Amino acid sequence: MSAEASARDLRRAQWRGVGAVAEREILRVLRLWKQTLVPQVLVAVLFIVVFGLALGGRLDGIGGVPYEQFIVPGLVLMGVGTAAFANNGTSIYQARGDGFIEDPVSSPMTASQLLLGYLSGGIVRAAIIGVGIVAAARAFVVFPLVNAGLVVATLLLSGIAFAALGTVVGLYARGWEHQNFVGNLVIQPLVFLGGVFYAVDDLPEPWATISRFDPIFYMVEATREGMLGAAEVPLGLSLGVTAGLAALMVLWAYTLFRRGVGLRT
Partner 1 sequence: MGLRVEGLVKRFGDLTAVDSLDLAVPEGSFFGLLGPNGAGKTTLIRSVVGLCEPDEGHIEVLGVPAWGRRGAEARRLIGYAPQEVALDRFVPVREALELHGRYFGMSRRDAVARAREMLATFELEDKATSYANLLSGGMRRRLLLARALVHRPRLVILDEPTAGVDIELRHDLWAHISRLHADGTTILLTTHYLEEAEALCERVAFMRDGQIVTEGAPAELRGRFGAGRLEDVYLRVVGR
What is the rounded distance in angstroms from the CA atom of residue 23 to the CA atom of residue 21? 5
Question: What distance in Å separates the CA atoms of residue 29 and residue 210, rounded to the nearest whole number?
Answer: 35
Q: Residue 132 Cβ, how far from partner 1 at the closest point, in Å?
A: 22
Using CB under 8 A, pick the residue from 8, 138, 174, 264 that binds partner 1.
264
According to DSSP, residue 219 is labeled H
Q: Do 179 and 173 contact (CB within 8 A), yes or no?
A: yes
Residue placing its CB nearer to partner 1 in the complex, 24 or 212: 24
4, 60, 98, 177: which one binds partner 1 (CB under 8 A): 98
Site string for partner 1, 188-227 (x = CB under 8 A): ----------------------------------------
Contact 102, 4 (CB under 8 A): no
If you count them, how many residues does the chain have?
A: 265
Give the interface segment with partner 1, choosing from 60-68, 72-80, 98-106, 239-247 (CB under 8 A): 98-106
Distances, alpha carbon 52 to alpha carbons 39, 55, 67, 71, 116, in Å:
19, 6, 6, 7, 37
The minimum distance between CB 26 and partner 1, in angstroms, equals 12
* Whole-angstrom distance, CA of residue 40 vs CA of residue 34: 10
Q: Does 13 bind partner 1 (CB under 8 A)?
A: yes
Q: Considering only 44-52, 108-116, 130-138, 187-195, which stretch makes contact with partner 1 by CB under 8 A? A: 108-116
Shortest spacing between CB 150 and partner 1, in angstroms: 35
Q: Which window, 11-19, 72-80, 135-143, 244-252, contacts partner 1 (CB under 8 A)?
A: 11-19
Among 37, 42, 49, 107, binds partner 1 (CB under 8 A): 107
Is residue 147 at the binding interface for partner 1, with CB under 8 A as the rule? no
Strands annotated E in 17-156: none
**If you count DSSP H runs as helices and E runs as strands, how many of each does the chain have, helices first?**
12, 0
